[in-house]
Amino acid sequence: MFKKDKKEERFHVESGSTNGAHMVDIITDTTTGVQYVLGIYPNIGSGMTVLVDKDGKPLLNPDYVQA
């Protein structure tokens, strides 16, 4: 009844790896191309931070960088 136009998702989540009880995902902002890492530790907590290059600048996924 109330159909909305489906918008493109702002973030793309790529499952990274699992090692025992913790998981790592790479999240890419599809607007800016900036990449983040999300570490999930079940029953303990989680943390997320921007990925940076050797100069401390945010890593950009070239598939999402808009010219």
Quote the pLDDT of residue 6: 63
Return the domain boundaries, the chain: 11-50
Quote the pLDDT of residue 43: 86
8, pLDDT greater than 80:
no
1, pLDDT greater than 90:
no
The strand ranges marked E within 1-67 are: 11-19, 22-29, 35-41, 45-50
Average pLDDT over residues 20-25: 81
Cβ-in-10-Å burial (0-12, 13-18, 19+) of 55 comes to exposed
| DSSP structure class, residue 21 | T
